[in-house]
Amino acid sequence: MADMHFMYGRANGSTLIARKWNFSQWLLVKCASNPNFVSRNLFTDEASFTRNGITNFQNDYVWAEENPHALIQTNHQHHFSLNVWMGIIGDHLIGPVILPNRLSGAAYLNFLVNILPQYLDDMPLAERLIIDVVHA
């Protein structure tokens, strides 16, 4: 059997660099027209924490020519995971919020519509009305 190793990173780096460049140019234009643009955006991200550490499956790739069915070996018989969401808007941290282990689109929409507003209650209403959400 071939020795398999995991390479962490994103596939097609040139596409990723182009997307980051386009985003940065768009952001510079927005900030030039409105200096407060960044402070009114809610930047968010989620992460999964397990007994084996932090997992972000968006960055896990297996590069294998001979065995496309690679496995990840773990050292623990009992597994648990925790999905955590956090956000930042201006100089305010929002969260952390514990999300369901199996996060579906419907569950995430429920979070955005019904749970997230409770975490924004401490912000003035005038600020909450102009928030744009930027999903990572």
Q: Mind listing the pLDDT tens digit for each residue in 17-64? A: 888 899 899 889 989 998 888 888 888 888 888 776 655 555 555 666
Give the predicted TM-score (pTM) of the model. 0.61
Q: Are residues 110 and 87 in the same domain?
A: yes
Residues 21 and 78 in one domain: no
d(CA 99, CA 107): 9
Give me the amino acid identity at 59. Answer: N
**pLDDT confidence of residue 49:** 81
Judge whether 110 and 130 are in contact, CB under 8 Å.
no
Residue range(s) defining the domain that contains residue 55: 38-129
The residues that bridge with 7 in the sheet, in sequence order, are 61
Q: How far apart are CA 57 and CA 8, in angstroms?
A: 10
Regarding whether 109 and 58 lie in a shared domain, the answer is yes
Higher pLDDT: 60 or 78? It is 78
